[in-house]
Amino acid sequence: MGTGAGPSAGLPPTARLSVAAVARRLGIAPATLRTWDRRYGLGPSEHVAGSHRRYTGDDLARLSAMRRLTLEGVSPADAARLVLGTAPGPGPDLPAEPLPDREGRLVATARAPGGGPGGRVLPLPGADAAVRGLGRAAMALDARAVTATVREQVTRHGVLHTWEAVLRPLLVAVGSRWAATGEGVEVEHLLAECASDVLREVAGRAVEPPGVRPVLLTCAPDEQHSLPLHALAAGLAENGVASRTLGAALPPDALLAAVRRTGPAVLFVWSQLPGTADPAVLEALPVQRPAAALLVGGPGWTLTDLPRRVTFAGGLPEAVALVDRALGA
């Protein structure tokens, strides 16, 4: 580790910093600071009546240690326990040397803010070689290698295995890294784009017979995470079932028009975030004769709020099975 000064170096003892100022010093998003405050109690320690809470120099030193530990692969919860269990003190904000590759952690070297080298770590405890290799390619933003690896996994093991055992763990790790550091959105985007390309290839192999009622797959209004739809379309295609994917953030009136125009046998609606899951959109859908199978999936949905005619799919394998069942396959 280097011995360079951390972000609290030169800070007067009486300094009181805003969220934005601390975020700039640490090189992380303000949303990450708020998450660390809400989840782990690493928030501003002083509050003056009638004004916003402010971070002290000791607060900044703790947050610097938190950032350093998460970059080294320590989980945010464990890092917070370590930081809160020790006396605050100045320390380097980022590793001065690239971190070694070790079991369950993937490392790619990049330039840290300010010009010094910094570790870029993606924790993947217990991951197999396929996941670690894909993680290395994603962290390096190597689109060709990511696409080739996903295609190889789908060819060897099928869509369901690739999604459940390779892509999902990696996406969770990238999301956790973003929550801890405010970094890695570009990694998630590249991984999603490359995986979507491969999954679309697979989905395109299934041919919809003429005259049949289609299977429609769509995201909830305002929901931008469409990768699970492509995974479902590809998983169905492996079973010989063609589908039509309407993509991200389909407005309610457009969804209503699509259902009326096509009279689908199955409609699947994905929601990743609670703010995008609106049961009223499902309630407004017309009742067909014969009835369409209405399915939803994703962590955004609250099961107790779903209309009675809607079925929740707990994962990709269950979604494929429910569609097959609805089609009488």
Could you tell me the domains of the chain? 19-84 (1.10.1660.10), 105-202 (1.10.1240.10), 207-327 (3.40.50.280)
**Structure letter (DSSP) for residue 99:** P
**What's residue 72's pLDDT?**
56
CB 225 within 8 A of CB 176: no
pLDDT of the residue at 326: 93
d(CA 237, CA 205): 7
Residue 93 has what pLDDT?
34
Phi-psi region of 104 (alpha: psi -120 to 50; beta: other; left: phi over 0): left
List, run by run, the mean pLDDT of 10-residue segments along the chain (329 residues).
43 68 81 84 70 78 80 71 60 31 37 35 77 89 93 95 92 83 88 97 95 95 94 96 95 95 96 89 89 93 89 93 89
Question: And the tokens for 41?
Answer: 């109690």
pLDDT in the model for residue 166: 93
Apex 136 CA angle, 132 and 141, nearest 5: 145
- Residue 329 CA, chain-centre distance (Å), reads 32
pLDDT at residue number 130: 84
Alpha helices in 109-167 (DSSP H): 129-139, 143-157, 159-161
Residue listed under structure tokens 């394998």: 317
pLDDT at 329: 57
